[in-house]
Chains A and B, each alone.
Chain A
Amino acid sequence: MGFFKRKHEPKKVPEGRVEGFYKVTGSGKYAAEYKLENVCYAVLVGSTIAAGEIVDINTDNAKDIEGVLDVLTHRNRPQIPAFADEAKAKRAGFSLPVLHTNKIFFRGQPVALVIAETLEDANYAASLVTVSYKTDQAKVDFDKEHATVPIAATGKERGSMDAWSNAPHIREQAYTIRNQVHNPMEMHATIAVWDGDKKLKLYDKNQGVNNVQQTISRLFDIPPANIEVFSEYVGGGFGSGLKVWSNVPLAIMAAKQVNRPVKLMLTRPQMFTLVGYRPQSWQNVRIGADANGKFLGILHQAKHGTSVFDNYGEGITRISRLVYNFGNLKTESATVPLNLGAPTWMRGPGDCTGAFALESAIDELSYDIKKDPLQLRLDNLAVINDPDTGKPWSTNFLNECMTKGAEMINWKSRNPLPAQTKEGEWMIGYGVANGMWFAGRSKASASIIMQKDGSITVQTAMTDIGTGTGTGMQNIAHLELGISHDKIRIKLGNSNLPAAPSQGGSTGLSTISGAVAAVCDALKMKLAGYASLQDAIYKDAKPESIVLSDSGIAYQQAGNHLISFDKIFSKENLQTIEVEASSGPGEERQKYAFCSGASHFCKVRVHTKTGKVKIDRHVCVVDAGYVVNKLAAANQVSGAAVGGIGMTLSEEQVVDSTHGCFIGGDLAGYHFAVNADAPIIEVDFINKIDPNINPSGAKGVGEVGIIGAAAAIANAIFHATGKRLRDLPITPDKVLLAKS
């Protein structure tokens, strides 16, 4: 069934992404860019306290402003049906009863929405809304609060903690990471358009149109079929678009209130409080090894922040269960409720945080044992079976990632001792760390519409947030069918198209490749059906022996004699040929465990006087099965590594414990890596097919490029300076103040 078993090779190397032209010319339409007649603008007013109640809201001054159409508050907004009933709200999976309560859970929570003719009018009027509050004591300080929250077992314990209490080498350390914020470059935005009372169009920035459709259907009590969601171009997400946030129901309420299309665009500061973040965390890792460096056991404990109104938990300790063989293992965790906006999945959720602690601790151990950190890892990798479930890995080439990466960065040239290599005022160091991500797959559908000229459109509701899903689909369709790339169009990101899950967790391509392969087979069979009316031998044709080309269909058993599409269409008097198919994971999931893996190698220089860290080289070697599109996959990985550089060296949201707000909640205050912060990232792939995961043999690469990156950098900083930095981000002040 898999196309990798097929004979025909790609005929033409794709010249770029399917949507490349539209992106470089600025003609692709992102959510806030659709032109709609009579559209008006909504601007949010956020609460200025972190906990308490609204006592009074004065919107008179705002309403007096020329151009203002209305101001919504919890007192006058149209009712969202699900918020009248707690059980319904729960089913809708929407935790913030936005504008349906006078309670304040976090600073920045929407308390009013100004609707006006122009953006300028709405912005100005929003500054005139005044709110008085009764303020409660807010809990915003994670460091202070987490000590009061008890920790509990998470996942099955392996062996016992006593078994290795006398291990010759034991390391125990705590690691901390501040809040980090997704900040996709496109800010979340929604245009809501009602058509009568029961039909709704939403132009929205998200990572899953069907998810938006379902959530809004439940919230507003409208059948999903009456809601059309457009997300044809999505300006990044990194997880922030996996949930439906308050801007969507707000825009819908506003559009209902003024009976016009309403456009609501979040501002960059609002992006820091309203659409999730990676929560602040504390971890403690105790790890033990015998005299030769064989791992004996691990205790991994983790706590992270969540919000008081929406308990979000991420599996920080999961990574410790996967990558290495630990005969004895215990993992514990807890969430710490705070008066902050709700956190959510952010690139490599859980594992990215966990890997920093695990891979740092292993590194610390390696210097205790005086064993090469590369070798220590290689000796303990679990590449045969998933140590957690005992199932064999379908494929796991993490060991090859390590050896290849070591070669690329010339690991053996490194001085084994830390703090030895100097170049002028700079100290040089090398670090390594691994990352792993479970390779998930879900069910999805796709359809193909074929035109008379033999060109096809492959379509699905799945979004492409920049990962190259559409291009991957085109490649797969080309390989499956033999039709040339320029005759294959891709349509994505509309909820009326065949259903697909949200694009996240590196599952997009893995999921959709199955559906594309299935629908390609369906097209072949449909065409074979028509062909059999002209040549009966086609009756028994199987997809594998049917070959399509730009002009027609051929069948091995029919001597590869071509029946042209033209003939089929005209004989049967067809306008188009349409097929749809679904595909999802099957029993292979019972037999095997699936993962993508990556090894990160980093060469840093650290300035002895300023503490500045510069990444000289960053190498990332990835095992993610078959690589469908090398250029886009490498771009994903290098982009994730750039994200890792920001995470390690500069990204942090510090909470002001007096006012409950984030300090510097904009792009001048929150520093993710700019071009000059990253070297040219060196990426390579093992590129060996995973024969069991899906018909394409490809696994996701979006997460593994960042999971482990932080530890590789921190480990390199240790190697350069002899200073172990266990608190992210590693800013120059911390480097200077740390003791070696």
Chain B
Amino acid sequence: MEKQKYSRRFFLSTSAMAATLAFIPVGVKAFYNNVKKLVIPLKEKMAIKLSINKAKYNLTVDTRTTLLDLVREQLDLTGTKKGCDHGQCGACTVHVNGQRVLSCLTLAATVQGKEVTTIEGLSQGSELHPMQQAFIECDGFQCGYCTPGQIMSAVGCVNEGHTHSVEEIKEFMSGNLCRCGAYNGIVQSIQKVAK
């Protein structure tokens, strides 16, 4: 393969700009578009095997599909939320092989062979996970949209042992934004479970 001088991101981000520059000569534009076609490949699909919430899946996915869009749009596991799609909010937090991970920054193709746990798979059977129970008891949410991500992250936070003080919990939960500001209850829920 030829060494690419310009990245995919370059073309994605410059397209909009180029579009505004009506005065770019037609020839230059055509050339730009031709090069762009080489850099941004057309749709490709690949087969992957993975396990989500202990269920095995054999799927054919678009190579551009994120783990987040895979679970939400194709598998109807909508408990995992999209708050930004850019790794800036934590709403999409899931566990991959037991670690907390942002599913919007994870291409589905890269979880081949891994074990994914989403909020739907956090509890065993009909019992709630202690963290889910604590979130209800401590009112650790308002609108509930950041909540699955908070809970997945909170479980990670406890497992990682970052629960020695309110400050430590707050620090290690700051990748999960809550616009409702339900941080009081979130911290209390974690303290309750960490005990």
- Chain A residues close to B by CB (< 8 Å): 15-17, 19-30, 32-33, 35, 48-49, 55, 61, 65-67, 118-121, 123-124, 127-133, 135, 182-187, 233-238, 265, 267-268, 465-468, 631-632, 634-636, 638-643, 666-668, 672-678, 680-681
Contact = CB atoms under 8 A, between A and B. Distances in A.
Given A20-B135, A26-B79, A131-B20, 5 more contacts: A23-B141, A33-B72, A643-B181, A672-B177, A674-B175
A677 B43 CA distance: 42
B181 A678 contact: yes
Interface in B44-99: 62, 64-65, 69, 72-73, 76-86, 88-89, 91
Contact of A675 (B62, B82, B133, B174): B174
A668 B128 CA distance: 33
A599 B148 CA distance: 33
A635 B177 contact: no
Contacts of A35: 76
Contact of A465 (B15, B143, B173): B143
A33 B78 contact: yes
Contact of B144 (A118, A128, A130, A466): A466
B101 interface: no
Contacts of B86: 268, 666-668
Nearest to A234: B143
A681 B178 CA distance: 15
Interface in B88-123: 88-89, 91, 118-120, 123
B72 A675 contact: no
B136 A641 contact: no
B80 A24 contact: no
A120 B62 contact: yes
B40 A666 contact: no
Interface in B137-186: 137, 139, 141-148, 151, 166-167, 169-171, 173-186
Contacts of A636: 142
B39 to A, nearest CB: 12
Contact of B79 (A27, A49, A234, A635): A27
Contacts of A238: 179
11 contacts: A16-B136, A24-B136, A28-B144, A49-B20, A118-B73, A119-B73, A131-B20, A185-B145, A236-B143, A635-B139, A680-B184
- Among A28, A129, A640, chain B packs the most CB atoms within 10 A around the CB of A28
B139 A183 contact: no
Contact of A132 (B22, B120, B147): B22
Contacts of B171: 675-676
B142 A639 contact: yes
5 pairs of A and B residues whose beta carbons are closest in the complex: A26-B79, A235-B145, A642-B181, A466-B143, A23-B144
A26 B181 contact: no
A268 B84 contact: yes
Contacts of A131: 19-20
A23 B177 CA distance: 16
Nearest to A41: B73
B19 A66 contact: no
Contacts of A234: 143
Nearest to B69: A119
Contacts of A668: 86, 88
A268 B184 contact: no
- Among B12, B42, B167, B170, chain A packs the most CB atoms within 10 A around the CB of B170
A233 B78 contact: no
A467 B142 contact: yes
B19 A184 contact: no
A185 B179 contact: yes
Nearest to A668: B88
Given A236-B142, A268-B86, A635-B184, A55 B22 contact: yes
Contact of B15 (A67, A123, A127): A127
B18 to A, nearest CB: 8
Contacts of B79: 25-27
B187 A185 contact: no
B84 A186 contact: no
Given A15-B136, A268-B86, A675 B170 contact: yes
A493 to B, nearest CB: 12
A635 B146 CA distance: 15
Nearest to B152: A26
Contact of B186 (A26, A124, A467, A675): A675
Given A24-B147, A681-B184, A48 B17 contact: yes
Contact of B139 (A16, A66, A130, A267): A16
A129 B151 CA distance: 40
Contacts of A127: 12, 15-16
Nearest to B21: A132
Contacts of B82: 32, 187, 265
Given A268-B83, A638-B181, A26 B143 contact: no
Contact of B181 (A28, A130, A641): A641
A265 B86 CA distance: 15
A675 B172 CA distance: 9
A49 B17 CA distance: 10
B128 A124 contact: no
A120 B69 contact: yes
A668 B90 CA distance: 12
Contact of B20 (A48, A123, A631, A681): A48
A132 B19 contact: yes
A28 B146 CA distance: 12
- Among B82, B86, B139, B142, chain A packs the most CB atoms within 10 A around the CB of B142
Contact of B173 (A48, A236, A675): A675
A55 B22 CA distance: 9
B142 A133 contact: no
Contacts of A24: 119, 128, 132-133, 135-136, 141, 144, 147-148, 151
A631 B43 contact: no
A635 B184 CA distance: 8
B148 to A, nearest CB: 4
- Among B42, B143, B174, chain A packs the most CB atoms within 10 A around the CB of B143
B120 A26 contact: yes
A24 B141 CA distance: 9
A639 B181 contact: yes
Given A127-B12, A186-B81, A667-B89, A675 B183 contact: yes
Given A128-B15, A132-B19, A643-B181, A61 B65 contact: no
Contacts of A467: 142
A124 B178 contact: no
Given A24-B136, A33-B78, A61-B33, A640 B143 contact: no
Nearest to A640: B181
Given A26-B119, A185-B91, A639 B180 contact: yes
